[in-house]
Amino acid sequence: MDGIQTVLKFLINQKTAIGYSFMALLTVGSERLFSVVAFKCPCSSENFMYGLVFLFAPALVLLVIGYFLNSRTWKLFTGCFLNPRKIFPKGNSCRFFYVFGQITLHALIAPVMWLSVALLNGTFYECAMSGLQNPGYLNVLCKNKSVKCWEELYKVVCDKTTMSFAESEELKLTLQAQSQVAGWFLIAGVAITVFLSYCLARCLSPLSFLHLKYWASYVRNEQKLFEEAADLHSRLYATQHIKKFFGLVPGSKDLREIRIPSCKDWRSISGVAVLRIVDEEHYDYSLLHDWAVNSSTNGKYFKIEESSSKNSEPPPST
């Protein structure tokens, strides 16, 4: 039992590293699946656009998903139209860019992983760059090669060119090498940027190392306790409204009577619930909440014991 608890504690403490590792494996698998199943280089003048779309479109989608799944994004932007000072507080306008920069760094993890894996594999880059009709680029790539290199470069990745096998293979290896070099430059650049940003943030921190760890622990525990308290508070608050409508709550014991909602009551709580502003301090969270706040407690009640006694039948005689 102690061994299991030790393993669980270790996994919990390393959940960030485990999450990033799982994300990396998922990225590698997705890239390979795209390369094998979905990607078919057209071997035409459309190579450049087709390859770039497969290279950057998934990265853009992952970036948007990263923003969407980060709860700090919604903490930052929720209600910003009604309260612009929330984003740009008076006397601290740079706070928005600092917080949004942190959110962006986390959102960029998956896109950078995708671009790195895709460039190291080279499939998308080879297709894209074989269709680039830039004279300067072609001068470098086709230097000391036949004229067909200029005319049939887009056919190289599909092995449909009339160039010699050695020349065609050399061009493919050159494109693949360029892709891998670009991938490693991207990985190194991101690693150095993240490291320098982390060092700068630590250097500018007003807290000591242990105090910073305590602050992180406090924020984590505060968030956890807040969510638990909010769940309990909302449950108790909703229970009062349910009790007012039905005259009971789930789990009630020794019920004497229940409330029979009228047709008007049912119509009042039926429909699409929309958050409604009552005044500057209060909101109606749902149609049932609005009904419970504005309606009286009068209504038809049904006594449980009377019903049981009237409907009960004597046991059959033996």
pLDDT of residue 232: 95
Q: In whole angstroms, what is the distance from residue 60 CA to residue 56 CA?
A: 6
Tokens for 114?
A: 């995708």
Residue 292 near residue 318 (C-beta atoms within 8 A): no
The count of residues in the chain is 318
Report the alpha-carbon angle 94-99-105, nearest 5.
125
Report the alpha-carbon angle 135-139-144, nearest 5.
150
Q: Which pTM value belongs to this model? A: 0.74
pLDDT of residue 271: 78
pLDDT per residue of the chain (318 residues) written in tens, 0 to 9: 555 555 545 455 555 666 666 677 777 777 777 777 788 888 888 899 999 999 999 999 999 998 998 888 888 888 777 777 777 777 677 778 888 888 998 889 889 999 999 999 988 999 999 888 888 888 888 888 888 888 888 888 888 888 888 888 888 999 999 999 999 999 999 999 989 988 988 898 888 999 999 999 999 999 999 999 999 999 999 999 998 888 888 887 777 888 888 888 888 888 776 776 766 667 788 888 888 888 876 778 778 764 443 443 444 544
pLDDT of residue 219: 92
